[in-house]
Structure 1
């Protein structure tokens, strides 16, 4: 039933429908009018029972969050060949993270890049994913970096503007 406008310009709300629940056939009109939020035929939970249920819920929630955060990343350590065949990078643990350095370049003009660290502080950020910093020897800039492992394929990306603009490169395990 739509709301009606009273003479003073106020709206009069239509009466609320009587709610009946299939699981509680004894819920009477007076129970709704009295504001009961439970089925009178069902026992109410006591304070101790509610505390127990709440503590179980909290423990389950915290466990889920901790397990999700501790997702183990795959092993990206090793030597990787860039998709264009121009360079190789060796990725190895450095502290709690992974780092990668150039170990070979095809073009003799870029031999000065050999030994340069191009991936810094790549910390696990999920299954087969890492986040850290990526250095691009071509332009001499450091970017927000990510690595994603899929079998023997590694995809690295350097991003600017909070990940708005990214450039990715694929690598194959050697």
Structure 2
């Protein structure tokens, strides 16, 4: 009788804990997202143990056309990489209600500490930070 009561209490506690877990977990960010400037689509997906994002489509052609290279990258070995397919979101891991990793800006050749957070099903908040200062963009889900 006591054993059944303990099993019942344990079952209720487990169900309650499982029901609360999603509230503390970061919402998935995978999918295709249009940048705030509406110049590109970034595809975010699992890259092994981390999440990453690559430029998958140009909505506004870059100055040198679709074959534009990563000319502003400070690493000479990376200057010949094409922007199309370039990973700009790297090393993202879920942490509480957000994702933390690095973001690369091919327009400046600089990388920043970054935080991603889903605002709703169709809006992704993207922050790039230097120290305590962050710049925020809102990306919209591509259809």
TM-score, structure 1 as length reference? 0.55
Q: More strand by proportion, 1 or 2? A: 2
Q: CA RMSD in A?
A: 2.1
| 1:118 pairs with 2:88 | yes
- Whole-Å Cα distance in 1 between the matches of residues 112 and 53 of structure 2? 14
| 1:141 pairs with 2:94 | no
Contiguous gaps of at least 5 residues in structure 1: 1-63
Asked if 1 retains the 8 angstrom alpha-carbon contact of 2:52 and 2:87, the reply is yes
| 1:172 pairs with 2:126 | no
Partner of 2:79: none
After TM superposition, give the deviation of residue 169 of structure 1 in Å: 1.5
Partner of 2:130: 160
| 1:99 pairs with 2:52 | yes
Partner of 1:131: 100
The alignment partner of 1:109 has SS state of coil
Asked if 1 retains the 8 angstrom alpha-carbon contact of 2:26 and 2:117, the reply is no
After TM superposition, give the deviation of residue 99 of structure 1 in Å: 0.3
